[in-house]
Amino acid sequence: MKSNYSNAAQLKDLMTAPPMSAAQHAEVMRKRIAQRRMVEEARELKRAVSSYDDKR
């Protein structure tokens, strides 16, 4: 599984960067949720196809 905590940025850059605005945070969260939904749907589809093939 991909780690969400890997980041190549230097600590000083992270600590001196301005905070994310609410709109930016909302956009990041929307993208993260959409990506997670796509993964979950693909996983469910894969299970459905494999269970259908098992019944044949």
Locate the domains of the chain by residue range.
22-55
CB 43 within 8 A of CB 51: no
Q: What pLDDT was estimated at residue 30?
A: 98
Residue 49 Cα to chain centre, angstroms: 24
In the prediction, which pLDDT does 46 show? 93
Contact 49, 41 (CB under 8 A): no
Which tokens sit at 10? 């230097």
- Which DSSP letter does residue 19 get? P
How do residues 1-56 score in pLDDT, each as one tens digit? 566 666 677 888 878 888 999 999 999 999 999 999 999 999 999 999 888 776 66
CA distance 43 to 13: 37
Which pTM value belongs to this model? 0.59
